[in-house]
Structure 1
Amino acid sequence: MRRLWTSLLTLCLVAVSMTVGVSAASAATPVTIGKIASTTAAYGSKVTVKPKVTHAKSAKVVSAKMTVKKGGSTVAKNKASVKLAAGTYKVTTTAKYKTFRTVKKTTTSTKNVVTVTPDDETRVTCTASRVTLPADGGLELDGSCTGAAFDGTVTIRNFEAYDENPWWGFDDNFTGLEFTSTPTVGKAFSAYLNPSKDLYKKKQVTTTTSTKVWSAVQTKTKTQTLVIKAGKKPNHAAPYSDGECPSWAPVKGNANSGIYHVPGGRYYSITIAEECFTTPGAARAHGYRASRNG
């Protein structure tokens, strides 16, 4: 039993160690320089090679450059891309990068916040400075109202109401009031208020902002062997602009006549090539026939 517990404890410690190691490795590798894959260059041509650099979300690559050597010679130095012919090279990729951490800052300030809009109804306490009951019915008053939902005072001017149960109506500014008992001048009464404009209340507002703090520029390098394979030599090619063929594909083909001419033939020197072939067999494979007159 003691051996079993010892084995289990050892496994747990190994698992914890591996987890810590992975986390530490992830945190320590914000930028990864990958291996540039070997490729094939078409015959007589070059291929463009670029650095293969990836980065974590917490990093930004400032630059990625390559220095390429072949044997003891430097082919390119600190280049973002290089054109290489077939061969074996030593490629050193240098990545410059920055990392950042997010800093959060919380500030608290006092602001006027809209708490009652014209579409809202809020309970208020009002005091009338004038109350008039016209002979033809209704009620008129001037006064002011305060409420817990907003700061300050709402002034009521020339308010007119027509129904007594409850009294309700509007003043000159279209501020609405509704109350049940007939007000008395100088005496507070309860009412419901519909303001004609937004009402505000001072409140403590907490704002949190996030800022990226960048590190100094850091550098990471990686050297690899890169093999560029040579493409297979083709058996035909396009002629030069003057109608002559390259030395490695000397057989001239005339597309209009379907005839090919070999070096030394009677009409070879005066023929303007439209296609060039490495051998007569290659020309025949493309549908041409030999010149009967040499």
Structure 2
Amino acid sequence: MNYSEVKSKLSFLFCLLVLTVAAQKPLPIRTTEFKELKSNKCEALEKNLKAELNKNKSWKALIQSKKMSISLVDLHDINHIGFAGVNENNMMYAASLPKIAVLYTVMDAIDKGIVKDTPAVRKDLSLMISKSNNAASTRMIDLVGYKRIEKVLRSTKTTLYDAEQGGGLWVGKRYAAAGARYPDPLKGLSHAATSYQAANLYYHLVFGKLINNQRSAEMLEILKNPQLGHKFVYTLNKVAPNAKLFRKSGSWKNYHSDSVLVWGKDRRYILVALIESSHGEQIIRNLITPVEKVLKKSRMLNCSE
């Protein structure tokens, strides 16, 4: 092989590497255009999602009784995002899932200089998300307070609690036996979410719009590689072992919830599920297969119609 051939081959390999890196689209994605999640509503995707979920009679009954809430964001083409929901604006008790709102509030306070960024705070944030540690979560709630959490969630810049849209993420109780309650004004819940607003938080993180690009990247790092392997993670570790997972879940009695951003070569989506059922854990595990079936079909859809 002569010099020109070697040079040509190296050039080809370099171009291939550049294209591969570009295809991976490291998070957060920088974009000059950003549309609110609800403006990406895809009727065809939603129709297919509802039809697939309703094939299961027990799931259909949960949906009809508003004990099952699902939000799905198709990110396989970031220029043509599709959003679909089932009872997505129905606020439900969500156990530990709203700890993502505590993460957001603490990071916002750090960014504004209200809270000092220390190794102890970072450790608690990590424990709160990766292991859902209640003691660490309570320390973070006490650090910022209920009113500041509410203020950040109601912020007009990134509204994650909107009374006119069914509510959203809410934290109104420490993850401890002692302490006053600060229930949400709509349903009086202490730890609540709508699947839409949980998905909306991840959506803003994907594009670096939660506080700013740097803080979004830091929050994604904290959410990455969940250490609790149940619910969505149980199935995703089998079907997509190489995908990056950013995740927070919750369970208490019959209330089960999970939220995940899946970012891989063949899978890029946000999925949130809130279930009120004694079988909620298993239902959430089983959701991945039908949802991915819907996503594969969605690549042939025209969401502008």
Question: TM-score, normalised on structure 1?
Answer: 0.17
More contact order relative to length (CA 8 Å, sep ≥ 6): 2
Which one has the largest radius of gyration?
1
Higher strand share: 1
